[in-house]
Amino acid sequence: MLNSRFFFATNRIISFFLNSILQCKTKKYTYHALTFLSEAFFLSTTFKFLRVFLPFYPVRLWGLFDQINLRFKSTFDIFHPMFIFPLIFACFISISSYRISYLALATILIGISFFCIGVQASKAFKFNEIFLEEKLEKFIALLLLLGIISLIYDVMQTGGIPLLDPAAKRNLNVPLTMLASVTVVGGILLISLIGKRYLSKSLEIGEARIFSIITIVIITLLMSLIGYRTQIIVSILGSIIAMYYSRILGKAEILISFLFVFFTISALGYYRALVQGSSIAFFDVIGKRVGLTLSIYDFLVDRFWIFGVNKLSVLLASFSSFISFVPGPRLGPRTIVAKIYGVTDVSITSTLYGTVILDLGLPGIILFSLILGFVLGLAYVAMKRTKTAVSIGIFSLFLAYTLVGIETGLVDFNVLMFFMIGSLILIRSIR
């Protein structure tokens, strides 16, 4: 396959596209600006400032975690796609307040099976160096600068803080909100870079942990301002995965982190329910939310599971609803699902496979699962064989969005673009 004409042509196209961007007239000005920002952050002032927090590093507590990790040390990888994806999907179904039909359950099991086949297929590829690794600091600086500026401007023009004022959330500028999400990507890559410096002995373990935690807190607080839970959860989860593969965290901390993520999701849902005037018990939030999502999926499976009905128009809506010149539906994928369900002026989630089964039915689930498994497996192989910061960041981002997408679906324009760009970087790096 590596010697095929398709692979050769794809590689040449990607190389031409990337080189064209890098050699444009604005390159030197952008390069100088990003050099200044990256050096200011990664080499001097900011790291010195962050070291102020080192006295707060809980040496005894983390020492306890380190001892536990030594006792349970094994080669088993808890974040291997073929393990974590079926596990989280199973947990997702088990905590639901809604009992899914056998037919819907069968389609999910088929999807998981072909996902695993896709992961296995990716093992044939080999990597040398990962593209952009040498320019990672400048790339992170660009992402964080672009994301934070977009986020601040987006919040300012709403006339309030969407987290505290649901009415202000309606005034969010969609393109700016999409651009703001690159802050999450920059944060995860930054933690991967911190991990790289720890592995190269440039940072002590205490420094790496403190710097990573501060990064998570800052990124999470910034993204919480716009009031979308998905980006918050992806930020936390992706950062945890990056810390794990950078050996900043062990299996004991991962368990605690998952409990923290669960609590965060419950807290955000509970707060949202209170703001909307709904009365619900704190620990019932997730079960009710999952139950609603699975009931929607059950509805779609019952009617469209054989061959679907929309013939990729829902997938197209991820682009056409955001880019005006792209032909297709002007409604977002989740809004289309809501309309088919009989609800207007809202958007609803239908699991990872809801929009897929609406488009192409069971054949769509098989094809989508194969592609998703292959892409995630390719990122995993690249990370394991190169151990670079870029590969760790890409895999962490892909896996975080996939696990969260079990509930939300992978239908947002920015998420699809992250997957496409990350995949291009990986393809460019195949030897």
Distance CA 418, CA 97 (A): 32
Residue 370, pLDDT above cutoff 90 = yes
- Show the tokens assigned to 108: 């999910």
Confidence of residue 145 (pLDDT cuts 50, 70, 90): confident
Choose between 380 and 259: higher pLDDT. 380
Length of the chain: 431
Residue of 199, 196, 153 whose CA lies nearest to 176? 153
Residue 25, pLDDT above cutoff 60 = no
- The mean per-residue pLDDT over the stretch 330-343 comes to 87
User: Mean pLDDT lowest for which of 23-32, 150-159, 306-315, 365-374?
Assistant: 23-32
- The mean per-residue pLDDT over the stretch 84-111 comes to 93
| Percent of residues, the chain, with pLDDT higher than 70 | 79
| Percent of residues, the chain, with pLDDT higher than 90 | 36
Return the pLDDT at 423. 93
Residue of 426, 383, 87 whose CA lies nearest to 241? 383
- The mean per-residue pLDDT over the stretch 245-271 comes to 78
Residue 30, pLDDT above cutoff 60 = no
Residue 204, pLDDT above cutoff 80 = yes
Choose between 14 and 396: higher pLDDT. 396
Choose between 105 and 3: higher pLDDT. 105
Choose between 6 and 230: higher pLDDT. 230
Choose between 264 and 216: higher pLDDT. 216
Return the pLDDT at 242. 95
Residue 160, pLDDT above cutoff 80 = no
Residue 75, pLDDT above cutoff 90 = no
Distance CA 52, CA 39 (A): 19
- The mean per-residue pLDDT over the stretch 59-64 comes to 65
Return the pLDDT at 139. 86
Return the pLDDT at 229. 81
Which amino acid belongs to residue 177?
T
| pTM for this model (two decimals) | 0.85
Confidence of residue 296 (pLDDT cuts 50, 70, 90): very high
User: Mean pLDDT lowest for which of 53-62, 69-78, 79-88, 408-417?
Assistant: 53-62
Under DSSP, the state recorded for 160 is: S
Confidence of residue 311 (pLDDT cuts 50, 70, 90): confident
Residue of 358, 333, 360 whose CA lies nearest to 347? 333
What mean pLDDT, rounded, does the chain reach? 83
Is residue 328 within 8 A of residue 317, CB to CB? The reply is yes
Return the pLDDT at 38. 61
Is residue 88 within 8 A of residue 403, CB to CB? The reply is yes
Distance CA 251, CA 66 (A): 9
Return the pLDDT at 114. 97
Beta bridge partners of 361: none
- Show the tokens assigned to 216: 């998570």
Confidence of residue 113 (pLDDT cuts 50, 70, 90): very high
**Contacts made by residues 341-348, CB under 8 angstroms, sequence distance 24+:** 341/296, 341/299, 348/292, 348/293, 348/296
Residue 225, pLDDT above cutoff 80 = yes
Look at residue 430 and give its three-state secondary structure.
Answer: strand
